[in-house]
Amino acid sequence: MEYTQLGRTGLKVSRLCLGTMNFGPETTEADSYAIMDRALDLGINFFDTANVYGWKKGEGVTEQIIGRWWAQGGGRREKVVIATKVYGNMGDWPNESRLSAVHIRRACEDSLRRMKTDYIDLYQMHHVDRNSPWEEIWQAMETLVQQGKVVYVGSSNFAGWHIAQANEAAKARHFLGLVSEQSLYNLKDRMIELEVIPACEYYGVGIIPWSPLAGGMLGGALQKAREGRRASENQQKQIEKYRAQLEQYEAFCAEIGEQPADVALAWLLHNPAVTAPIIGPRTMDQLTGSLRALEIRFTDEQMKRLDDIWPGPGGPAPEAYAW
């Protein structure tokens, strides 16, 4: 396994991050345990979750699974850098969602209880809350850090402007601020190249791409369709919309002798701004198969081919749309 530092911090994390969103709804608890054990065996020390995962309001199903896995001992908790999230709706009453100081405090305590741990390594804001001032948010986060309940703070789904706002407000308070941003980023969805990536590079914020396979489209969607595997109706529409590009992409992957999913992950790892793409395996085979991406190296010509197939916005703003 390869490791890198998370943004501007000294924290070392694996180049692949284990996403746990499927644990509970798609993957049984026993299989989830097996996947997490295997991830540790492979050297993956970076796990991502969220209090809303499991999709039963207020229950934190996935966090509970992780907590019961840690409770088995064997140094499991100590080996894992855990990232969870706050913002989502955890109840029907006011102040059970978003980023008020009240909700941040309660949500953190609940996540700690569910995961049976004393601290969260990376506490991520799942979305920007335009109704909560940064002074309130950072005061709440500072308190959690001072209490030893949170080590680092990150964001998810923030715009470049939000990252700048957040870190300038933190700097004024002599607080570390955001150290990571979890964004939608893959060969098909490259909008963050305009302003999010430049903001992250400026502030030393590590990028953790979610949906690196574009919901499975970059994982050999055409090939799987030919093999008779059914896709959701929405994905079938997406496949038809991007069929011409997918045909070129899968042909390119066959030409270089690599699986489409591995090429998509390797392309993200090629970007020095990226810390670790989130892989969300439902099965053990999906987990172990992802490791091939760490070994793939592209030539400049191959990178250009991928850009031609999946063109981005043209680089950072404003040059991407102006002179």
Q: Residue 236: its pLDDT value, please?
A: 85
Please state whether the predicted TM-score (pTM) of the whole model is above 0.85: yes
Annotation marks residue 53 as catalytic: yes
Lowest mean pLDDT across 156-165, 204-213, 228-237: 228-237
Task: Tell me the pLDDT tens digit for each residue of 240-262.
Answer: 999 999 999 999 999 999 999 99
pLDDT at 74: 96
pLDDT at position 232 = 73
Contact 192, 217 (CB under 8 A): no
CB environment 223-244: b (16+ within 10 A), e (fewer): eeeeeeeebeeebeebbeebee
Question: What is each CA distance from 212 to 55, 140, 169, 277, in whole angstroms?
Answer: 21, 32, 30, 6
- Options 33, 53, 123, 249, the catalytic residue: 53
CATH topology for 3-216+260-299?
TIM Barrel (3.20.20)
Residue 35's Cβ-count burial label (10 Å; 0-12, 13-18, 19+) is buried
Chain segment 201-219, per-residue pLDDT in tens: 999 999 999 999 999 999 9
Predicted pLDDT of residue 107: 98
Q: What is the pLDDT of residues 120-155, one digit of tens each?
A: 999 999 999 999 999 999 999 999 999 999 999 999
Please state, rounded to an integer, the average pLDDT across all residues of the chain.
Answer: 96
CA distance 161 to 134: 13
Q: pLDDT at position 223, please?
A: 82
β partners of residue 155: 125, 181
**Which token pair is 144?**
């959690």
